C-alpha cells in the first residue's frame, strides 16, 4: 500500500511538473523566413512600415542587428536548412539548391526523392522529401521530445522553403504549384491525400482572388527612384513592353505560366499568410499541452527581387505589403492563442546584390557572366596549359564550384591533381575572380579565415565540387536581366534576425550573431538540446 501511495504521489508530481513546465513554454513556435531579405531593408523602409508589423517585432522583440550567414553559397536550400538545423552545409549536407551527384552523373535537386509521389501539381513538383538533409531540425527535436504528440506544419511557396524547415518528422509540408492548376500541394512522404481544408483552400474561386492587379500601395511618386520605374535593367514579363507599374496580372498570366504569376507579385505572400492561418486553425496548432511548430517561408520577395532589383519600386512595394502581412499574422496569433502565448522569430535565407547593370550605369564596377562562358574560357586555355588536346574537362558548375569529369581525365591519362592546379591558375588569371581553391585545400586546411572559412563551412566532402571560386565583389554568375545572390559579401550574408513573444525580452544587440545560432536558441527556449548544431545559444535574448 505504501509503495502504491509513493508511486501515485510521484506520478502525480510528474504530471504537475509536466503541466507547470508546459505552461512555461510557448504554445506555438512560428518560424518566419523571408526569401532574399537583406537587413538594410528593415532600416531603409522602416518609415513606410506601420506600427504593427516589422516595427512591432523590432520594438517589442529582440533585434539582432548584426546577423550573418557564416558560409557560402547563400542560396535558398542551404539557407532554410541552416536556419532549421543550426548547422552549416558542411554538416547538414544541403550545399546548394542543386549539386552534382558523381555516382549518378547528374545534377540533383536538394529535395528531390523518387521514392515518393506528388499529391497535386505534376510529377516533378511532388517527388520530394527532406531525406537529403543529414541532421535533425529544431522541429524534429521538439517532436521527439514530446513523444510525437506535438505537430509540425511547414508552409512556403517553394518546396525547399517548406520541406527543409520542417525536417524529417513534420506532419505536413505544403508548397505552391501554379501553372494551369493553382494548388497547394505536398508529397506522399507526409500523407496519402491532401486534408479537406487544403482542398477547400485550393478552390479556383479562392485562389483567383490573388490575381489582383498590382499597383503601388501608396502613390508611386512617394517611392524612392520612382522616376526610374521603367528601365532597361529589370525583367520584362512576357506580354508587357515595359517594366513599369501597374501590372495587369490577369492579362499577363496567359503569357507567364498562368497561375505562376501569383508568386511573382506581392499577392503570393498574401496567399502564403492566408494558407498559414488556415493551417493554424485546421491543424489546431497551439491548442494542446505541447509546443507545436509552424514554419512560414515568404518567397514572392525573392522572385520579385531577382527580376527588379534592390532599389526598384517593385521591391519597395513588396516589402510595404509584406509588412501588412506580418501585421495580419501577429493580430491573428494574438486573437487565437493570446498575447505572449507564442514565440516567433523572423530572418532571411540570404540577401542579394543590386542588379549589376544598374550598378555599372552608376559608375560601380559590376557585371554578370554566365557559367557557360566561364567553362569555355577555361577550356580555351587548358589545352595550352596541359600541352595536350582534350575535350572540355568541366562537367558541371554551380554554387561557385567546378566539378571535373573523372571519366575524361582518366580517358586522357591525366593526373587529376595536376589538372586542378592548372585550372586554379587559369581561374585566378581572370579579372572577375579573386581566388580559386582545390577541394583538398578547403577540406584539409585548418584555421582558415575570412572568405575561405565561409567556403569551408559550406563544403561537403561527398557533394561539393573539385574547385571553389571566389568572384570579385559585385560580380555574379547570371544570365539575362535582373540579379542574384550566393556570395560571402555583406549584401548576401547580412540578414535580419528578430525574436519576439513568450520568453523573449525587449532589446537589441550589435553583437555578431550567425544563422546557425537560431535553432539551438529555440531548442534552449523549449528546454531541449540539439546534438548536431554548430551554432551558439543566444542566452541574452531570454527574459
Residue 206 belongs to some domain of the structure: yes
Residue 40 belongs to some domain of the structure: no
Q: What's the pLDDT at 161?
A: 98
Q: What's the pLDDT at 125?
A: 81
Same domain? 325 vs 457: no
With a cut of 70, list the residues of the chain below it in pLDDT.
Answer: 1-22
Same domain? 194 vs 296: yes
The predicted model scores a pTM of: 0.95
Q: What's the pLDDT at 22?
A: 61
Q: What's the pLDDT at 173?
A: 98
What CATH number is associated with residue 125? Answer: 3.40.720.10
- Which of these three, 423, 444, 477, is where a domain ends? 477
- Nearest in space to 243 (alpha carbons), one of 483, 44, 482: 482
Residue range of the domain that includes 51: 46-351+494-541
Residue 24 belongs to some domain of the structure: no
Catalytic residue among 9, 74, 76, 265: 76
Residue 505 belongs to some domain of the structure: yes
Give the number of other Cβ atoms within 10 Å of residue 444's Cβ. Answer: 9
Same domain? 335 vs 428: no
- Nearest in space to 303 (alpha carbons), one of 151, 465, 157: 157
Residue 14 belongs to some domain of the structure: no
What CATH number is associated with residue 425? Answer: 3.30.1360.150
Same domain? 321 vs 446: no
- 442-471 pLDDT, tens digit per residue, is 999 999 999 999 999 999 999 999 999 999
Same domain? 143 vs 262: yes
- Which of these three, 429, 448, 477, is where a domain ends? 477
Same domain? 424 vs 530: no
**Residue 76 appears among annotated catalytic residues:** yes
Same domain? 413 vs 502: no
159's CB contacts (< 8 A; 6+ apart) are 111, 125, 128, 173, 175
Same domain? 416 vs 500: no
Q: How far apart are CA 137 and CA 131, in angstroms?
A: 12
Same domain? 223 vs 252: yes
Residue 521 belongs to some domain of the structure: yes
273, 328 contact by CB (below 8 A): yes
Same domain? 314 vs 371: no
Q: How far apart are CA 33 and CA 11, in angstroms?
A: 41
Same domain? 120 vs 251: yes
Q: How big is the chain, counted in residues?
A: 543
Residue 524 belongs to some domain of the structure: yes
Q: Cα Rg for the chain, rounded, in angstroms?
A: 24
Residue 20 belongs to some domain of the structure: no
Give the number of other Cβ atoms within 10 Å of residue 355's Cβ. Answer: 29
Packed helices 416-428 and 371-386: angle between N→C axes, nearest 10 degrees: 120
- 377-404 pLDDT, tens digit per residue, is 999 999 999 999 999 999 999 999 999 9
- The domain total for the chain is 2
Same domain? 133 vs 203: yes
User: Residue 152, SS3?
Assistant: strand
C-alpha cell at 97: 539548391
Amino acid at each position: 500500500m505504501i509503495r502504491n501511495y509513493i508511486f501515485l504521489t510521484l506520478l502525480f508530481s510528474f504530471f504537475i511538473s509536466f503541466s507547470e513546465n508546459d505552461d512555461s513554454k510557448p504554445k506555438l513556435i512560428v518560424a518566419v523566413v523571408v526569401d532574399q531579405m537583406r537587413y538594410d531593408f528593415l532600416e531603409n523602409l522602416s518609415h513606410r512600415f506601420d506600427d504593427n508589423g516589422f516595427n512591432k517585432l523590432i520594438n517589442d522583440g529582440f533585434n539582432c542587428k548584426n546577423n550573418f550567414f557564416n558560409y557560402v553559397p547563400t542560396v535558398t536550400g542551404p539557407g532554410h536548412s541552416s536556419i532549421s538545423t543550426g548547422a552549416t552545409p558542411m554538416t547538414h549536407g544541403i550545399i546548394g539548391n542543386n549539386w552534382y551527384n558523381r555516382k549518378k552523373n547528374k545534377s540533383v535537386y536538394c529535395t528531390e526523392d523518387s521514392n515518393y509521389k506528388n499529391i497535386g501539381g505534376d510529377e516533378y513538383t511532388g517527388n520530394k522529401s527532406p531525406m537529403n538533409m543529414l541532421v535533425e531540425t529544431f522541429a524534429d527535436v521538439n517532436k521527439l521530445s514530446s513523444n510525437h504528440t506535438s505537430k509540425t506544419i511547414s508552409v512556403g511557396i517553394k518546396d525547399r522553403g517548406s520541406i527543409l524547415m520542417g525536417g524529417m518528422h513534420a506532419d505536413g509540408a505544403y508548397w505552391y504549384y501554379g501553372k494551369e492548376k493553382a494548388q497547394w500541394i505536398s508529397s506522399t512522404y507526409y500523407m496519402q491525400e491532401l486534408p479537406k481544408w487544403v482542398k477547400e483552400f485550393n478552390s479556383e474561386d479562392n485562389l483567383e482572388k490573388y490575381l489582383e492587379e498590382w499597383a503601388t500601395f501608396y502613390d508611386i511618386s512617394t517611392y524612392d527612384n520612382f522616376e526610374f520605374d521603367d528601365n532597361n535593367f529589370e525583367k520584362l514579363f512576357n506580354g508587357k513592353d515595359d517594366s513599369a507599374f501597374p501590372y495587369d496580372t490577369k492579362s499577363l498570366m496567359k503569357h507567364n505560366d498562368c497561375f505562376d504569376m501569383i508568386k511573382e507579385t506581392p499577392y503570393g505572400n498574401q496567399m502564403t499568410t492566408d494558407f498559414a492561418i488556415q493551417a493554424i486553425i485546421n491543424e489546431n496548432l497551439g491548442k494542446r499541452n505541447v509546443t507545436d511548430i509552424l514554419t512560414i517561408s515568404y518567397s514572392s520577395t525573392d522572385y520579385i527581387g531577382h527580376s527588379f532589383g534592390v532599389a526598384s519600386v517593385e521591391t519597395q512595394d513588396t516589402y510595404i505589403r509584406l509588412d501588412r502581412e506580418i501585421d495580419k499574422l501577429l493580430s491573428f496569433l494574438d486573437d487565437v492563442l493570446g498575447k505572449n502565448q507564442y514565440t516567433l522569430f523572423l530572418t532571411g535565407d540570404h540577401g542579394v546584390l543590386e542588379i549589376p547593370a544598374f550598378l555599372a550605369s552608376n559608375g560601380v564596377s559590376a557585371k554578370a557572366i554566365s557559367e557557360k562562358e566561364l567553362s569555355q574560357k577555361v577550356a580555351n586555355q587548358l589545352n595550352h596549359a596541359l600541352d595536350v588536346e582534350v575535350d572540355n574537362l568541366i562537367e558541371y558548375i554551380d554554387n561557385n564550384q567546378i566539378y571535373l569529369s573523372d571519366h575524361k581525365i582518366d580517358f586522357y591519362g591525366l593526373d587529376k591533381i595536376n589538372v586542378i592546379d592548372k585550372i586554379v591558375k587559369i581561374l585566378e588569371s581572370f579579372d572577375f575572380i579573386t581566388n580559386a581553391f582545390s577541394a583538398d585545400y578547403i577540406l584539409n586546411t585548418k584555421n582558415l579565415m575570412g572568405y575561405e572559412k565561409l567556403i569551408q563551412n559550406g563544403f561537403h566532402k561527398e557533394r561539393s565540387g573539385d574547385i571553389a571560386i571566389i568572384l570579385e565583389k559585385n560580380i555574379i554568375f547570371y544570365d539575362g536581366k535582373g540579379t542574384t545572390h550566393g556570395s560571402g559579401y555583406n549584401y548576401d550574408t547580412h540578414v535580419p534576425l528578430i525574436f519576439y513573444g513568450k520568453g523573449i525580452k525587449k532589446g537589441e544587440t550589435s553583437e555578431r550573431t550567425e544563422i546557425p545560432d537560431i535553432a539551438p536558441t529555440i531548442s534552449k527556449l523549449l528546454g531541449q538540446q540539439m546534438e548536431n548544431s554548430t551554432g551558439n545559444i543566444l542566452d541574452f535574448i531570454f527574459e
